[in-house]
Structure formats: C-alpha cells, structure tokens
Structure 1
Amino acid sequence: MFDISFTAVAVLCVAAALAGWIDAVVGGGGLLQLPALLIAFPHLPPAYALGTNKAVAVVGTSAAAVTYARKAPVDVRLACRLGVVAALSSLGGAFFAAGVNSAVLRPLIIVLLLGVAAFVVLRPHFGHAPGGVATRGRVLTAFAVAGVGIGFYDGLLGPGTGTFLVIALVALLNMDMVTASATTKVVNVCTNIGALAMFTWQGTVLWSLAPVMAVCNMAGAFTGAHMALKRGSGFVRGVLLVTVVGLVGKLAYDQWWAH
C-alpha cells in the first residue's frame, strides 16, 4: 500500500522515541509523532497516520504506566474507572475522526492551551504539592472533563491529550504533577486502546511499520518515566510549559501558514 525509504523509517523511529519520552513525562508526544507520520505519508488519508500513531503510542504509554505504578502513589482504581469512561469516549471520537474539520477545532484548542500556559506561569506552585482530598463534586467533574471530554478529543485528534489530562487532574483532583502524570498514563492507555480498536476496525493502521516505531516509543517512555520520578514535580512542570508552547506553535502553523 505504501513505499518508504530506510531513512524515512529511521526518522520516524527517532520521532517515536522522543514522543515516548515527552508522553511519559507530561503527555503531548503526538506533537512530534503524528506530524512525522503525516509528512512521511502525504498521499495517504490522514486516518492512517492517526491509526498508526495510536498503535505506536499504546505500547509506550503502557510501558510508562507500569513504570509509574511501581513507584508513584497512583490510585489505580480511580485511574482505571476514569480510563474506561475515557476509552468509550475515545472510541466515539475515533468514529468521527474521518469527517473532522480540524480548521474549526484548532483555534479553540490554541486558546485553551494559551490559557493553560498562563495559568501555570501565574501560579508557580501549581502541581508542586497535593492540595487536599478532592470532593465528590470535583471527582464527578473530573470524570466529565477528563473522561468524556478529553477522551473524545483523544479519539478525534489526539495531540496534547496527555497535557490536557495532567492539567485537569491537578486542577480538579488536587494531585501533584508527578502523580497526575502517572495517573494520566493509565487513562491514556485506555483511550489509546479505545481509539485503536476503531482504527483497526476501519483498516487504517500501518501494521508493517507500527511495531518498529513502538519499540522506539517504549524505550523513550521508560526513560521519560524514570526521569520524571527522579526529578519530581518541578521538572514535570517545566516540560509541561515547553510542550504547551510547542503545541500552540504547531497548531498555529497548521492553521494559518501551512497552506
């Protein structure tokens, strides 16, 4: 179905490794991996890049989730419940991915990301320490925002999902950055599985390429997770800001200059 050079495969593997590292620390690895796939296969429908991205990401995210679960204080029960809700929403998002008008969604996402960046900068202690036990109302809100809303977005487009999840969990459930990042990995595994199931059913996954990229993504994820656990919330917060700025730049370029 497609022809690709060894050099292109090597570049995609490097992108997958870097994406795995970013995803493990704070999320947003799709910022690198998805554009790399779109550039490598310009003549294929975008759904193939989306499907292959999910097949690769689910491996690296799973590796990061296992690494975090062994050393970080993750509420696995809460994370799995949130993940199930997000997975179902992701499945729905993936179903509509083929017909999405990204030109309409990008400006809204850019505004939201800029708001996130401003919030994190203006609140230097945001995510550095737990703020107490979350109320039942906050937990339900987290399920609505992170489970339903962000889960649907992950299936629909994907890049930045981990970043959105980390911010939502810190803001709504009073988690520190490391715990939020660890919990996000469990949720992200579920959303990736949900979206991948739909893309597999639609036949839009490049299975001859995905396993090679997945190995590199997993290596990056292991490295990123260990660094986040070792360096703490301050490190994760810094990577979060860099990722948000990068994501805004990429979305703005796609919206106003790419064409």
Structure 2
Amino acid sequence: MIVTLLIAAAAAGWVDAVVGGGGLLLLPALLLAAPQLPLATALGTNKLAAIFGTSTAAVTYARRTKIDWTVAGPAAALAVLCAGCGAALAGAVPAAAYRPVVLVVLVAVAVFVTIRPQMGLMELPERRTPWRRGLAVAVAGGVIAAYDGLIGPGTGTFLVLAFTTLIGADFVHGSAMAKIVNTATNFGALTVFAYHGHVAWLLGLAMAVCNIGGAIVGARMALRRGSGFVRVILLVVVLALIIKLGWDQYRLSA
C-alpha cells in the first residue's frame, strides 16, 4: 500500500507541475490503497501531499519565468477563502451532483483545444483588458477554487485553461500562474480538513516527499520543452479525466 501511494504521489507531482490534474492519480490511489480512510480524510490527506508539490512547482516557475501577479495574486488570495468554503461542504454535496457538468465541460475543453492547435502556444497580451483580468480572478480564485475544496481532481488543468483562454497566457505561463493559485486552494482546503481532524499526517507527509520530487522534475521539464509539450500533456490529462468521470457516471447509472 505504501509503495503504491508513494509512486502515485511522485507521478501526481509531475502531472500537477506540468499541467495540473495530479489529483486524478493520487485521490483514486488513496481510496483504493487505503479503503479504511473516510472520504473526507482521503481528501484532506491528498491536500497535504499536494500542497508541497504545488508550492515547490510554483517556486520553480517563479524563479525561471515571469508571472502576472496582478492576476495570480488576487486569484490566490480569493482561492484560500473559496477553497476553504468548498472543503467545509465536502461530503455534503454528492459527486453525482456535479460529475455530469464537469464531464460536459471537459469534453468541450478537449474539442476546443484540439480544433485550435495554436491556442496557448504564444502569449496574447491584447487580451489582458481589465475586465478579462477581473473575470480570470473570479473564475480561478472563486469557482475553480471552490470546486477544488469540494473534491479537486482536474483543478490545476481547469486553472491553466482559465488563464490561457481568458487572459491569453501561453501554456507555460498559464501553468505557472495555476501553480500559485493551486497552492492557495490546497492551503485553504487543508486548513479546513485539518481543523476537523480529516488528515492522516504521517501518510500525507510521506507522500509529500515524493510529490515534491515529481513536481521539481515536471516543472523543469515544462520550462525546458515549452508550450507545445504542455499542450500534449494537457490533452492527455483531459482525456483521462473524461474517461474516468464517464466510467464513474456509467457505473452509477447502470
């Protein structure tokens, strides 16, 4: 069980650092390898491991690329509050309530990214109007952060897409800003889960070490290989999310 979770944590750190979506690997691994954990505890332990990886990736990006703090800063501040509110509701809102909506959004994202191959490959500074910046802050720091507190898988991917489509960031810079906000969402949610005793600390800290290693490798690889590489990983992660959520929905309705 421990070996499986440590490997999953390293892989999740890599995916999260490149394009987000590490929870797609780590949360199911926790639920399968440690079935004795209540859902809220699995979510809290996942946040404990993830916050180390996302913060490490955020520092790596910040040292090597330019971050638009006029968007990332306010979005991160709002995200702490909204993710905390989402975490407070975790368990009260059944997954069946939001899974179909997320599935439709992901399919739309996959189609959109596929038919627009140039999206995210270069910066589009003309899109950074005041209202677009405000919308990006509200969507990333509000809506997506609340979703992350509730359940989380795919949050980093949604953040990258929000910054790419709303303010014209390329995939590398969008991923850099996403790591800043994702660190904030993890902190907000983790604070609530920890307050209610829903964190397996020893297990989470062990996974955090591997998550950090994966995050360092992933962030450096994304910076070295550029937006084209991040775009490919983005599509792979989105398709994996579609398959997983689609299968969950099929099992629920069967």
d(CA) in 1 for partners of 2:244, 2:80: 26
TM normalised by structure 2 equals 0.97
2:182 matched to 1:185? no
Matched, 1:239 2:233: yes
Deviates most, 48-57 or 130-139:
130-139
Which residue, out of 49, 62, 72, partners 2:65? 72
Gaps of at least 5 residues in structure 2 are none
Tell me what 2:162 maps to. 168
* SS of the residue 1:28 aligns to: coil
**Partners of 2:182 and 2:156 in 1: CA distance:** 7
Query: CA deviation digits over 1:131-184, x for unaligned, max 9?
Result: 124111101111221111001000001000000000000001110100000010
Query: Greater CA deviation, 96-105 or 18-27?
Result: 96-105
Whole-Å separation in 1 of the counterparts to 2:73 and 2:213: 24
Deviation at 1:75, TM superposition (A): 2.0
Matching residue within 30, 52, 55 for 1:59: 52
The amino acid across from 1:185 in the alignment is K
Alpha-carbon distance in structure 1 between the residues aligned to 2:45 and 2:6: 13
State TM-score, norm by structure 1: 0.95
The CA deviation at 1:77 is 4.6
Following TM superposition, the consecutive aligned residue runs of length 4 or more in structure 1 with deviations greater than 6 angstroms are none
Shift in Å at residue 255 of structure 1?
2.0
The answer on whether the counterparts of 2:148 and 2:185 sit within 8 Å (CA) in structure 1 is yes
- Find 1:95's aligned residue among 75, 88, 94: 88
Cα distance in 2 for partners of 1:50, 1:89 equals: 16
Please report the RMSD computed on the Cα atoms of aligned residues, expressed in angstroms. 1.1
Q: 1:26 offset after TM fit, Å?
A: 0.2
Query: How many Å apart are 1:120 and its aligned residue?
Result: 0.3
Contact kept, 8 Å, 2:79 with 2:184, in 1: the verdict is yes
Q: Are 1:151 and 2:131 an aligned pair?
A: no
Between 1:240-249 and 1:100-109, the stretch displaced more is: 100-109
- Whole-Å separation in 1 of the counterparts to 2:144 and 2:193: 18
Write out aligned runs for 1:1-259 (5 A): 8-133=1-126, 134-257=128-251
- Which one-letter code corresponds to 2:68 in the other structure? D
- The offset of 1:44, in angstroms, is 2.7
- Structure 1 position 122, deviation (Å): 0.5
Deviates more, 1:71-80 or 1:61-70: 71-80
Query: CA shift at 1:78, angstroms?
Result: 3.0
Per the alignment, in what secondary structure is the counterpart of residue 169 of structure 2? Answer: coil
Structure 1 residue 250: Cα displacement: 1.0
Distance in 2, Cα, partners of 1:32 & 1:199: 20
Aligned residues between the structures: 252
Tell me how far apart the structure 2 counterparts of residues 116 and 17 of structure 1 sit (CA, whole Å).
26
Q: Deviations over 1:58-77 (max 9, x none)?
A: 00001100100010111235
Query: In 2, Cα distance between the equivalents of 1:87 and 1:138?
Result: 21
Identity of paired residues, percent? 52
Cα offsets for 1:22-73 (capped at 9, x unmatched)? 0000000000000000112223320011000000000000110010001011
- The CA deviation at 1:96 is 0.3
Equivalents in 1 of 2:58, 2:229: separation in Å? Answer: 18
1:16 is displaced (CA, Å) by 0.3
| Alignment partners' CA distance in 2, 1:87 and 1:115 | 28
Q: Distance in 1 between matches of 2:197 and 2:237?
A: 31
